[in-house]
Protein backbone atom coordinates (compact mmCIF):
# COMPACT_ATOMS: atom_id res chain seq x y z
CA UNK A 1 0.00 0.00 0.00
CA UNK A 2 2.84 2.41 0.80
CA UNK A 3 4.38 1.88 -2.62
CA UNK A 4 1.02 2.53 -4.34
CA UNK A 5 0.54 5.73 -2.33
CA UNK A 6 4.05 6.86 -3.26
CA UNK A 7 3.60 6.10 -6.98
CA UNK A 8 0.15 7.70 -7.14
CA UNK A 9 1.34 10.95 -5.58
CA UNK A 10 4.59 10.84 -7.56
CA UNK A 11 2.52 10.84 -10.78
CA UNK A 12 0.40 13.72 -9.50
CA UNK A 13 3.46 15.71 -8.48
CA UNK A 14 5.26 15.05 -11.75
CA UNK A 15 2.45 15.94 -14.14
CA UNK A 16 0.81 18.96 -12.54
CA UNK A 17 1.63 22.55 -13.38
CA UNK A 18 0.29 25.54 -11.52
CA UNK A 19 0.74 24.71 -7.86
CA UNK A 20 -1.40 23.19 -5.17
CA UNK A 21 -4.87 24.08 -6.35
CA UNK A 22 -4.11 22.70 -9.79
CA UNK A 23 -3.25 19.36 -8.16
CA UNK A 24 -6.56 19.03 -6.32
CA UNK A 25 -8.58 17.62 -9.25
CA UNK A 26 -5.83 15.10 -9.99
CA UNK A 27 -5.67 14.04 -6.34
CA UNK A 28 -9.46 13.80 -6.26
CA UNK A 29 -9.57 11.64 -9.39
CA UNK A 30 -6.76 9.37 -8.19
CA UNK A 31 -7.90 8.76 -4.61
CA UNK A 32 -11.68 8.67 -5.24
CA UNK A 33 -12.30 7.51 -8.80
CA UNK A 34 -9.21 5.48 -9.71
CA UNK A 35 -8.21 3.92 -6.38
CA UNK A 36 -11.37 4.16 -4.26
CA UNK A 37 -9.30 4.94 -1.19
CA UNK A 38 -11.53 7.77 0.05
CA UNK A 39 -15.23 8.55 -0.30
CA UNK A 40 -16.13 11.90 -1.91
CA UNK A 41 -17.61 13.29 1.33
CA UNK A 42 -14.51 12.30 3.28
CA UNK A 43 -12.31 13.87 0.61
CA UNK A 44 -14.19 17.16 1.01
CA UNK A 45 -13.51 17.02 4.75
CA UNK A 46 -9.82 16.25 4.16
CA UNK A 47 -9.63 19.07 1.62
CA UNK A 48 -11.19 21.50 4.10
CA UNK A 49 -8.69 20.53 6.77
CA UNK A 50 -5.83 20.72 4.25
CA UNK A 51 -6.92 24.20 3.24
CA UNK A 52 -7.10 25.34 6.86
CA UNK A 53 -3.72 23.91 7.85
CA UNK A 54 -0.57 25.91 7.21
CA UNK A 55 1.34 24.97 4.08
CA UNK A 56 0.51 24.15 0.48
CA UNK A 57 -2.91 22.58 -0.03
CA UNK A 58 -1.70 19.77 -2.30
CA UNK A 59 1.00 18.76 0.15
CA UNK A 60 -1.43 18.86 3.07
CA UNK A 61 -4.03 16.88 1.12
CA UNK A 62 -1.46 14.24 0.18
CA UNK A 63 -0.35 13.91 3.80
CA UNK A 64 -3.92 13.68 5.11
CA UNK A 65 -4.95 11.13 2.47
CA UNK A 66 -1.81 9.07 3.11
CA UNK A 67 -2.40 9.18 6.85
CA UNK A 68 -6.03 8.17 6.37
CA UNK A 69 -5.02 5.19 4.24
CA UNK A 70 -1.89 3.88 6.00
CA UNK A 71 -1.16 5.94 9.10
CA UNK A 72 2.08 7.82 9.63
CA UNK A 73 4.00 5.76 7.03
CA UNK A 74 1.27 6.43 4.49
CA UNK A 75 1.53 10.15 5.20
CA UNK A 76 5.31 10.03 4.71
CA UNK A 77 4.99 7.97 1.54
CA UNK A 78 2.45 10.39 0.04
CA UNK A 79 4.53 13.36 1.12
CA UNK A 80 7.67 12.04 -0.57
CA UNK A 81 5.73 11.12 -3.69
CA UNK A 82 4.27 14.57 -4.16
CA UNK A 83 7.42 16.51 -3.19
CA UNK A 84 10.18 14.69 -5.08
CA UNK A 85 9.09 15.73 -8.61
CA UNK A 86 8.71 19.40 -7.67
CA UNK A 87 12.02 19.39 -5.83
CA UNK A 88 13.84 17.83 -8.79
CA UNK A 89 12.24 20.19 -11.31
CA UNK A 90 12.95 23.29 -9.22
CA UNK A 91 16.52 22.15 -8.69
CA UNK A 92 17.02 21.77 -12.44
CA UNK A 93 15.32 25.09 -13.17
CA UNK A 94 17.49 26.83 -10.59
CA UNK A 95 20.62 25.37 -12.12
CA UNK A 96 19.74 26.42 -15.67
CA UNK A 97 17.45 29.43 -15.12
CA UNK A 98 20.20 32.01 -15.37
CA UNK A 99 20.83 30.90 -18.95
CA UNK A 100 17.18 31.07 -20.07
CA UNK A 101 15.86 33.93 -17.92
CA UNK A 102 15.47 36.36 -20.82
CA UNK A 103 14.47 33.81 -23.45
CA UNK A 104 11.29 35.01 -25.21
CA UNK A 105 10.15 31.46 -26.00
CA UNK A 106 10.30 30.44 -22.33
CA UNK A 107 8.48 33.62 -21.34
CA UNK A 108 5.78 32.97 -23.95
CA UNK A 109 5.38 29.37 -22.78
CA UNK A 110 4.78 30.52 -19.20
CA UNK A 111 2.27 33.13 -20.36
CA UNK A 112 0.45 30.51 -22.45
CA UNK A 113 0.11 28.20 -19.43
CA UNK A 114 -1.71 30.79 -17.30
CA UNK A 115 -5.24 30.17 -18.67
CA UNK A 116 -4.82 26.43 -18.24
CA UNK A 117 -3.70 26.91 -14.65
CA UNK A 118 -6.75 29.09 -13.94
CA UNK A 119 -8.99 26.39 -15.42
CA UNK A 120 -7.29 23.74 -13.28
CA UNK A 121 -7.99 25.84 -10.19
CA UNK A 122 -11.64 26.55 -11.09
CA UNK A 123 -12.47 22.94 -12.09
CA UNK A 124 -12.32 21.44 -8.57
CA UNK A 125 -14.32 24.33 -7.18
CA UNK A 126 -17.12 23.68 -9.66
CA UNK A 127 -16.87 19.91 -9.22
CA UNK A 128 -16.86 20.01 -5.43
CA UNK A 129 -19.76 22.47 -5.30
CA UNK A 130 -22.16 20.01 -6.99
CA UNK A 131 -24.77 18.88 -4.51
CA UNK A 132 -23.86 21.63 -2.07
CA UNK A 133 -26.61 23.53 -0.30
CA UNK A 134 -27.40 26.65 -2.38
CA UNK A 135 -27.03 28.85 0.70
CA UNK A 136 -23.47 27.65 1.13
CA UNK A 137 -22.74 28.72 -2.45
CA UNK A 138 -24.15 32.16 -1.60
CA UNK A 139 -21.94 32.30 1.50
CA UNK A 140 -18.91 31.32 -0.60
CA UNK A 141 -19.70 34.02 -3.18
CA UNK A 142 -20.19 36.69 -0.49
CA UNK A 143 -16.92 35.62 1.15
CA UNK A 144 -15.05 35.84 -2.16
CA UNK A 145 -16.46 39.33 -2.79
CA UNK A 146 -15.54 40.41 0.76
CA UNK A 147 -11.95 39.30 0.23
CA UNK A 148 -11.40 40.41 -3.37
CA UNK A 149 -13.56 43.50 -3.69
CA UNK A 150 -13.45 44.94 -0.18
CA UNK A 151 -9.98 43.69 0.76
CA UNK A 152 -11.02 41.84 3.94
CA UNK A 153 -8.25 39.73 5.39
CA UNK A 154 -8.78 36.00 4.77
CA UNK A 155 -7.64 35.38 8.36
CA UNK A 156 -10.53 37.42 9.76
CA UNK A 157 -12.95 35.75 7.36
CA UNK A 158 -11.76 32.31 8.53
CA UNK A 159 -12.13 33.30 12.20
CA UNK A 160 -15.65 34.66 11.62
CA UNK A 161 -16.57 31.51 9.65
CA UNK A 162 -15.24 29.24 12.42
CA UNK A 163 -17.20 31.13 15.07
CA UNK A 164 -20.33 31.09 12.89
CA UNK A 165 -19.93 27.33 12.38
CA UNK A 166 -19.59 26.74 16.12
CA UNK A 167 -22.64 28.91 16.87
CA UNK A 168 -24.65 27.09 14.18
CA UNK A 169 -23.60 23.70 15.57
CA UNK A 170 -24.59 24.73 19.09
CA UNK A 171 -27.92 25.96 17.77
CA UNK A 172 -28.57 22.61 16.07
CA UNK A 173 -27.59 20.65 19.19
CA UNK A 174 -29.92 22.74 21.36
CA UNK A 175 -32.69 22.44 18.79
CA UNK A 176 -32.31 18.62 18.85
CA UNK A 177 -32.26 18.68 22.68
CA UNK A 178 -35.59 20.51 22.82
CA UNK A 179 -37.37 17.82 20.81
Domain that holds residue 178: 133-179
Statement to judge: residues 124 and 157 lie in one domain = no
Note whether 139 and 127 are same-domain residues. no
pLDDT of residue 77: 94
Same-domain pairing of 117 and 138:
no
Whether residues 94 and 176 share a domain: the answer is no
pTM: 0.56
Q: Please check whether residues 141 and 53 belong to one and the same domain.
A: no
Q: Are residues 107 and 92 in the same domain?
A: yes
So what's the pLDDT on residue 167?
92
What phi-psi label fits residue 53: left (phi over 0), alpha (psi between -120 and 50 degrees) or beta? beta
15, 23, 85, 106 from 112: Cα distances, Å: 17, 19, 22, 10
Whether residues 154 and 74 share a domain: the answer is: no
Same domain, residue pair 58 and 125: yes
How far apart, in whole angstroms, are the C-alpha atoms of residue 72 and residue 76? Answer: 6
Q: What is the mean pLDDT of each run of 10 residues along the chain (179 residues)?
A: 90 78 83 88 85 83 90 93 88 78 80 83 76 80 86 87 89 81
pLDDT of amino acid 92: 84
C-alpha 155/C-alpha 47 separation (Å) is 18
Q: Could you tell me if 121 and 42 lie in one domain?
A: yes
19-46 in b/e burial notation, b at 16+ Cβ within 10 A? ebbbbbbbbbebbbeeeebbeeeebeeb
For 76, other C-beta atoms within 10 Å of its C-beta total 17
Tell me, yes or no, whether 66 and 118 share the same domain: yes
The pLDDT value given to residue 21: 76
Same-domain status, 57 and 68: yes
* Residue whose C-alpha is closest to residue 121's, from 41, 40, 26: 26
Do 26 and 87 lie in one domain? The reply is yes
Domain count within the chain = 2
Amino acid sequence: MLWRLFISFLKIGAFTFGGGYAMVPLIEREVIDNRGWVQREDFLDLLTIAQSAPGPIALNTAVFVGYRIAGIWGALSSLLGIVIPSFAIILLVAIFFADIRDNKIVDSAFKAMRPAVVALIVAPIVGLSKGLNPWLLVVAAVTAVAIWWFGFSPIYVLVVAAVAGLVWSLYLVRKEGNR
